[in-house]
Amino acid sequence: MSDSEQTLAVVRQVFEAFAAHDLRAFRDLLHPEVVLQVGGGPATVAGADAVVAAVAVTVQAIPDLRVTVASAFAQGPLAAAEVVREGTHTGAAVLPDGTPVPPSGRAVRLPECLVFRVRDGKVVRMTPYVDMLDTLRQLGVLPGGGGTAAPGTSLE
């Protein structure tokens, strides 16, 4: 198996763990030095336990979470995946800044792109790219109702 195939296998296992809501299996796929780089910006979460806690927010907020991998590819230790997270926001959530988000009861569809770096068969870096404006709108934090806006429409 090539390096790229091994990397892609680890990434697929990450999404299988999420699909099964198995945070223990997810944690087992993380390198001890793992870093979650939030949205490609300067904010990071370091260490396997901290990364699991950060991503557990989604599973808690959307207990019926379904994850569909639309596409994924790898080149050596790097991989990228296009996924869609769907479910109903029936659990409480807390934004990274500490703002609580009560359950809205809304169905959500959250497209995401993630970039991974794998070392020694474990994820050592994970960077998700998400449209947070759309996510917050779907969760009911911002005006605009549930669901995604059609192209060219306003948020209000």
- 55-79 CB burial, b ≥16 within 10 A, e <16: bebbbebbeebebebeebebeebeb
Confidence of residue 151 (pLDDT cuts 50, 70, 90): very low
Q: How confident is the model at residue 140, as a pLDDT?
A: 82
Q: How confident is the model at residue 68, as a pLDDT?
A: 94
Q: With a threshold of 0.85, does the pTM exceed it? A: no
Tell me whether residue 50 is exposed, middle or buried, using C-beta atoms within 10 angstroms of its C-beta: 0 to 12, 13 to 18, 19 or more: middle
Residue 26 has pLDDT above 90, yes or no: yes
Confidence of residue 153 (pLDDT cuts 50, 70, 90): very low
Where are the chain's structural domains?
3-138
SS3 (DSSP) at 64: coil
CATH fold of 3-138 reads Nuclear Transport Factor 2; Chain: A, (3.10.450)
Q: What is the pLDDT of residues 81-121, one digit of tens each?
A: 999 999 999 998 887 777 888 999 999 999 999 999 999 99
